[in-house]
Amino acid sequence: MTELKYEPVSHDHEAFLKKALKRKDFREAYENLEEEYMLVREMLSARTRAGLTQEAVAERMETTKSAVSRLESAGKHAPSLATLKKYAHAVGCHLEIKLVPDSRTNRSTRIARKRSAG
């Protein structure tokens, strides 16, 4: 198996995002895909830490570079849990999924739900 050294291209994501979020259409689209973007950032960060290229990850997953590219693109594809586990393993990680209470739900609504649930 040939390992290729990953050398990331310099990109100031925070500066890009700050500028792009000024555009209303971009902001709405970004907010609608917030969880997907968070997942993609986690994936890219894990691959960078592992020092791997998309080609190397694809080889470890026994798939193609284009499939890995699709996985690392927000909003275009909804990967299965099995695929996310394979990706995590390929970049030297394990997958954790958790459900977090929605902070946007007001407290009285949560209390009412608890009471009705018993």
Q: Measuring CA to CA, how many Å separate 109 from each of 34, 39, 99, 113?
A: 24, 28, 18, 6
CATH class of 13-117: mainly alpha
Task: Give domain limits for the chain.
Answer: 13-117
Backbone angles phi, psi at 39, to 5 degrees: -65, -45
Q: What is the mean pLDDT of residues 18-41?
A: 89
Segment 42-96, tens digit of pLDDT:
999 999 999 999 999 999 999 999 999 999 987 777 899 999 999 999 999 999 9
Residue 107 is predicted with a pLDDT of: 56
Query: What is the arithmetic mean of pLDDT over 103-115?
Result: 62
Report the predicted TM-score, pTM, of the whole model to 2 decimal places: 0.66
